[in-house]
A and B are shown apart, each in its own frame.
Chain A
Amino acid sequence: MADTDSAPGDPERGREPDIAMWGASGSGKTAFLAALSIALNKSRDAGWRLIGENAVSRTELAKLRNTLLQARTFPAPTEALTHYSWMIIGPAETRRRWWWPWTARAAKAPKIKLDFLDLRGDLYAESESNIDKKALVDSLVKSRGLIYMFDPDREARVGDAFKHLDAALHEVAGRMLVGDEYEDGKLPHHIAVCITKYDDPRVLRIAMEEGFTERDPTDELRIPHVPPDRVRDFFRLLCHEAHDHNTEMILDLIEAFFHKDRIRYFVTSSVGLFIDEDLGRFDPDDYLNVIDDAGGGLTIRGAIRPMNVMEPVLWLGQMLRPGAIGSRRWDG
């Protein structure tokens, strides 16, 4: 390998992340990633797998899985800009030959490359002179998909989501929209807005009391969920409930900067709701899956059933695949 004079430890050299994570401290970014492979494993559409593309990412993936599955707790707060190179491999599709349509043949398995950038939540609030901040904004400019994590619990207690999002969006927009490349004045990213911690009583109670939840008749566990067409409204409501009045502007801020058809809203939970095995279905009086342990930390009580963790990633992956409808290349 050639001698270089670069700064040490530059894992992103020559490769920018496809998907960047975005969200305040404690909003559940790393837990979301930890739950991703579990969600894929538990998917009804069997055959999706998450693998690490290199030794570092494989090691980190194993660590994250073990934290949830073995230690039954949550990952430690992210201290530094962290890069994961993962890939989702789906089941092989079947195709029929046009000249002999009576038999099908296996085609290539779909592969979605996921380069995630996880970060400490306060990095967006740092000054531009911060080296990590600069690297982060660079990567956001060059990334193609965003996962924005909105933590209603944190917003109810702290309320700093707008501050972080606003600062970051303006920096990215300042870099991308000044020129003529994007004449419509919108950022070209696809963005999955994820309302996290659906299993938190405050979040679920609001959803249920305000009538946003439905029961899927095919779901044996009878878990209440927010139907996709109502998530946006639910998000707006949660923003209104926040500690900071500015938070209610978040939805408008997002829709002002991104194309509406490139925004999708999800209600997520990394560990899901507790289901009593004896009862075999959701119990509105006993669904806490994350409880305090003796040491003052948190522990996962029952089975891990990630909710809407896989869906935002698959959606972004499909949107970003070359040739996919809605995908669009740019040079940043």
Chain B
Amino acid sequence: MGRLTAHWAILGKTPESLDDYSVIRCSAGAISNAEFGMWLKAFTSGTMEPKALPRVATSYFAAGPDGEPWLGLSLQREPDSQDGFHRPYAMTYYVCVRWADVVAGPSTVSYRALYEALAEEDFSGDAPFRLSLATYDERHLAGQVNGTARRAAALLLTGRPVCVVRAGRLSPDRRLDFLDAVAALLPYGFRHTLAVSTWTNSASRHRIRLSFAEVPPTHGAWELPWEADDRPASFPPQALLYEKELERYQGDDLCDLVGWLGTMVEPRDFDDVSHRAAASRLLRGRASDRVTAYGGQSVVRQPRPSVEQLLHQCRESIAHAEEQRLGALNAQLAERARGRVTEQDRKTYRVFIRANPIRPPERLSGSAVVRDFFEILLRLLYVPPMHAADVEEMLVDLGGQRRLEHGLSPALLAAMSKLLPVSAPSGRLLIAYLQGSEHLHKVLAVMSEDELCHVAVRSRNRKVLEIVITEADRRALPTDPRGMEAVRYALARNRYLIEAISSICAAEESVLRYQDVLWVGHRRYLTSADIKEILADLDSPPRTFLLAIMTLGAPETAPALLHTMAGGTMRELGVTGTPVADAVKAGLDRMLSRDDAGDGRMARYRRRAGLGRLAPASTLGKALAGASVVLVAAAALALWLWL
């Protein structure tokens, strides 16, 4: 909280007055009544409209023999009384502070802080105010930044005014915060010549540079619809560049940027092309070098680089095996990871990493600094604690274009295994798999059959499923009945991994996977007893699972399969014990009977259908075979006689 001396004035009318607007009261001292009147009228926002009130506007002027710069803020309200012509009128309460005082304090001043301080005053007497001003709140300002604010800031650097339209529904408070946020996206020194208003009348001649209005002025101003994606026609390249640069800053980075821009207090003039051009270049490459280009002066403190810039530098350090530099960058990156990272930030970073893959050279394979980097990186990219799904994401994000599973850096894998919680066995399985068979066996060795199957079902991850089935196959040896029994029991308990397979695999692959599972569990063609046991506990098994059973069915098991399927279906439909169930059973018996009567019925059916029984071999064939034998014998006899 800082305190500033502020001079003040009230522009308006006394009730029943026939006069025009004038300064009806003001503080004594540095600024005269006439000066107040001149500057207040010069920075009018246009004719009062009741819906636009209360209206807050800022202004600037130079006073005194030395042309000392001042910064002003006004609040316009409508009183209950009328003027002498019975018309409504506005009262404008105005405070102004010396620019030198504003920038000399420990903290600069936001428009909101000035407004809130003004609202506390009673505008009586003739002594200047001692305003209690809130400190410059970068976080609050950054929180008000949206796409419109970024675009408005960029467009202001073209030198033309910006008029925000289609925002009539916003409260005056929200509009003021927006104006403050736009100013905060530019070097603070520009406030020195920035007049803003929460509402202007575009038919009125005014010199407000940034404002809200119903329609934009006819000439000279950029029309900026509120929260619209489309850029204005003829969007100038330098503005586009600045907007793009601003878009790169999110979360804490944006707070830092606002704070940094807030330190650039040297007076800047929007009408000065060189000042605007310098500001347009300001954000380019601000990360690595101490900024000295701006206005030819060095800034108070070095700005913190964005996370993307840090990642870029880390990537370079790793590529050049600069461990020491990487260590220093790790510290900065870790600080960011400890701060607030939004989901949008994480997405942005992941996109950056995909576009800029990080491949440590061989000589850094065992580097603890690189491992630390990857650990910090993972904290930035994924919400802790990590899960198997994150590992999948990681393969996409960090595996490069071909998503090379075994091309991942050991340091990365080590970092991942460190971050994955014990409660994420599927992730640990994946990590171990990526680390190599030795690691995988170690992890698998401590897992029971039931845990294995449970992990496969829970993770619904293709690679985990593959690992589990392979391990089950290894354990279920025919020579080890106990191992076989354990695997079979675990598969049954976990519904033969149906949930995992059906959610991962398409139809054909599903059948093949179920085949694997069933074979691992039984190691033979399925008997009728096996089929009944498998299907007994499964309600509504998927059709792919049934097909898999059929592919492994032993001879004479069709009746068992059909009866079991029918029984399961009837249980599911709730028709067990009904006449329908009896009819189904009778039908199945008839279909599956092998007696003569059955053969006779089939023969009659075939005759009716015009189908005769095919002979095992035709007479012509027999004749040809006999002739062949005779010919061969005759030939052999002739050869023997000739020899």
Listed in ascending order, the chain A residues whose CB lies under 8 Å from chain B are: 1, 3-14, 25-26, 54-57, 59-60, 63, 74-85, 120-122, 130-132, 135, 154, 157-158, 292, 295-298
A11-B203, A79-B46, A79-B204 are contacts. A3–B87 as well, Cβ < 8 Å? no
A26-B87, A79-B204, A80-B206 are contacts. A11–B219 as well, Cβ < 8 Å? yes
| A121 vs chain B, min Cβ distance (A) | 6
Q: In the complex, are the beta carbons of B18 and A83 less than 8 A apart?
A: no
Residue contacts A-B, CB under 8 angstroms, 13 given: A6-B159, A7-B271, A11-B219, A59-B215, A60-B203, A77-B83, A79-B204, A82-B203, A85-B218, A122-B20, A122-B21, A131-B207, A132-B42
Q: In the complex, are the beta carbons of A79 and B48 less than 8 A apart?
A: yes
With beta carbons under 8 angstroms apart, the residue of A3, A76, A77, A295 that contacts B20 is A77
Return the chain A residue nearest B78 by Cβ.
A76
Return the chain A residue nearest B157 by Cβ.
A3
Q: In the complex, are the beta carbons of B208 and A9 less than 8 A apart?
A: yes
| A227 vs chain B, min Cβ distance (A) | 29
Contacts of A26 in B (CB 8 A): 18, 83-85, 87
- Interface status of B205 (Cβ within 8 A of chain A): yes
A122–B206 Cα distance when bound, in Å, is 17
Contacts of B44 in A (CB 8 A): 79-80
Which of B18, B85, B220 has the most chain A CB atoms inside 10 A of its CB? B85
A56-B202, A296-B86 are contacts. A4–B220 as well, Cβ < 8 Å? yes
- Interface status of B522 (Cβ within 8 A of chain A): no
Contacts of A8 in B (CB 8 A): 160-161, 195, 206-209, 220-221
With beta carbons under 8 angstroms apart, the residue of B47, B159, B209, B236 that contacts A80 is B47
Contacts of A56 in B (CB 8 A): 202-203, 215-218
Contacts of B219 in A (CB 8 A): 10-11, 13-14
A9-B221, A56-B202, A76-B49 are contacts. A131–B159 as well, Cβ < 8 Å? no
Q: In the complex, are the beta carbons of A25 and B218 less than 8 A apart?
A: no
Which of A9, A81, A84, A131 has the most chain B CB atoms inside 10 A of its CB? A9
- Interface status of B199 (Cβ within 8 A of chain A): no
Q: In the complex, are the beta carbons of B220 and A9 less than 8 A apart?
A: yes
- Interface status of B214 (Cβ within 8 A of chain A): yes
Q: In the complex, are the beta carbons of B217 and A9 less than 8 A apart?
A: yes
Contacts of B203 in A (CB 8 A): 11, 56-57, 59-60, 82-84
Q: In the complex, are the beta carbons of A10 and B205 less than 8 A apart?
A: yes
Q: In the complex, are the beta carbons of B38 and A130 less than 8 A apart?
A: yes
Contacts of B18 in A (CB 8 A): 25-26, 154, 157-158
A80–B83 Cα distance when bound, in Å, is 18
A292–B41 Cα distance when bound, in Å, is 30
Contacts of B22 in A (CB 8 A): 122
Q: In the complex, are the beta carbons of B159 and A5 less than 8 A apart?
A: yes
Closest 9 CB pairs of A and B: A8-B161, A122-B20, A80-B204, A81-B205, A298-B86, A26-B85, A25-B20, A80-B44, A55-B215
Residues 555-567 of B, flagged 1 when their CB comes within 8 A of A and 0 if not, give 0000000000000
Q: 6 more A-B contacts (CB under 8 A) besides A25-B18, A297-B88?
A: A3-B159, A10-B220, A25-B19, A77-B85, A79-B21, A132-B42
Q: In the complex, are the beta carbons of A80 and B205 less than 8 A apart?
A: yes
A298–B216 Cα distance when bound, in Å, is 31
| A161 vs chain B, min Cβ distance (A) | 13
- Interface status of B201 (Cβ within 8 A of chain A): yes
Return the chain B residue nearest A14 by Cβ.
B219
A282–B81 Cα distance when bound, in Å, is 33
| B523 vs chain A, min Cβ distance (A) | 80
A60–B215 Cα distance when bound, in Å, is 10
- Interface status of B514 (Cβ within 8 A of chain A): no
With beta carbons under 8 angstroms apart, the residue of A25, A79, A157 that contacts B47 is A79
| B63 vs chain A, min Cβ distance (A) | 14
Q: In the complex, are the beta carbons of B220 and A78 less than 8 A apart?
A: no
A78–B21 Cα distance when bound, in Å, is 10
A3–B605 Cα distance when bound, in Å, is 94
Which of A57, A77, A122, A130 has the most chain B CB atoms inside 10 A of its CB? A77
Return the chain B residue nearest A61 by Cβ.
B203
Return the chain B residue nearest A292 by Cβ.
B86
Contacts of B158 in A (CB 8 A): 3
A32–B437 Cα distance when bound, in Å, is 92
Q: In the complex, are the beta carbons of A9 and B215 less than 8 A apart?
A: no
- Interface status of B517 (Cβ within 8 A of chain A): no
A82–B20 Cα distance when bound, in Å, is 16
Contacts of A75 in B (CB 8 A): 47
- Interface status of B90 (Cβ within 8 A of chain A): yes
Contacts of A296 in B (CB 8 A): 81-82, 86
| A165 vs chain B, min Cβ distance (A) | 15
Q: In the complex, are the beta carbons of A76 and B47 less than 8 A apart?
A: yes
| B602 vs chain A, min Cβ distance (A) | 89
Contacts of B479 in A (CB 8 A): none
Contacts of A55 in B (CB 8 A): 215-216, 218
- Interface status of B536 (Cβ within 8 A of chain A): no
A3–B47 Cα distance when bound, in Å, is 28
